[in-house]
A and B are shown apart, each in its own frame.
Chain A
Amino acid sequence: MTLIRYQTSELAPWSAVDRWNNLRDELNSFFELPVWSSFARAGQLFNGWSPALDLCQSNDNVIAVVELPGMRKDDIKISLHEGTLTISGERKRESSSNGEKAERTERYIGTFRRSIALPTRVDANKVSATYRDGILTVTLPKAEEVKPKQIQVS
């Protein structure tokens, strides 16, 4: 089987942004890793898939929207640690029968990991997530003490 990385010209202007995002994520995850105890993992640091991630903020919630086409719900992991949201998982190859041959592979198969620092404190117990049409939406309610409050003049 051959793997061909394919970059179309229409996507080219974005690659710089992607690379920057990748680099930032890699740096983030680098500092989270117990690198010195598991040196072998360092080899995986600069490969992989970096799904597009949007972050929104409203009065009550912080919402992360991640594009993860063709995953199984059970293969997505979401974790929250010290104000950093991490979404990771693994996209598995569909079980293939005999005689199948990949002619061209642009879709990334394997593990991915995205981390983003949240802008405010959130209530970790009330985080919810939905996965629909290949888009993961994580809703993180803000912690009570950081929500904007109206104070009445008495």
Chain B
Amino acid sequence: MNTLTRENRDGDRAQTEQFVVPPASVIEAGDGYTLEVEMPGVTKDGLDISVENNELTIIGRRSLPVVEGTLIHHESRPENFRRTFELDPSIDAKKISVRIEQGLATLILPKAEHRQAAQDHRFLSFV
């Protein structure tokens, strides 16, 4: 089962694994951006963040509590989370930091220092 869902770098991983797109918010402060992504059931170990070609991808693998008994009402989705964001060129990708608390991942995206003055750049749209 694990091999089936493992990320496949060279190809169409979307076909091997289904993801849920988590809700996210972006807050801008003077020296950078804060990105909040809702991923209930994801711990620090389940987080996978990568930056490639100015695109930030955040994957959250869920470790859901095992519940005894039979399911009689079901609304949650079992899939893992994935979302991609296009990064503003002013963001210093090397300084991105992340923490996750109660299923809410908070990423701090600082602007590179020499770019801070530039006002015309914006954190670009969600992909």
Residues on A lying within 8 angstroms of B by beta carbon are 6, 8, 10-11, 14, 17, 21, 52-59, 61, 63, 65, 67-72, 96-97, 99-108, 116, 119, 131-135, 137
For residue B98, CB closer than 8 A to chain A, the reply is: no
8 A Cβ contacts from B85-127 to A: 101-104, 122-123, 126
A-B CB contact pairs (8 Å), 21 listed: A11-B20, A57-B72, A58-B70, A63-B69, A67-B40, A68-B40, A68-B102, A69-B38, A69-B40, A70-B101, A70-B103, A99-B30, A100-B29, A102-B28, A106-B24, A107-B23, A107-B24, A108-B23, A133-B63, A133-B102, A134-B103
Interface size on B, residues (CB 8 A): 41
Residues of chain A within 8 A of B39, CB atoms compared: 69, 134
Q: Which 9 A-B pairs have the closest CB atoms?
A: A134-B103, A58-B69, A70-B104, A69-B103, A134-B40, A55-B73, A103-B26, A67-B40, A106-B23
Q: What number of residue pairs across chains A and B have CB atoms under 8 A from each other? A: 131
Minimum CB–CB distance for B59 against chain A, Å: 15
If A11-B21, A56-B71, A70-B101 touch, whether A103 touches B41 (CB-CB below 8 Å) is: no
If A10-B20, A102-B27, A133-B43 touch, whether A65 touches B65 (CB-CB below 8 Å) is: yes
Minimum CB–CB distance for B114 against chain A, Å: 20
Minimum CB–CB distance for A64 against chain B, Å: 9
Residues of chain A within 8 A of B64, CB atoms compared: 135
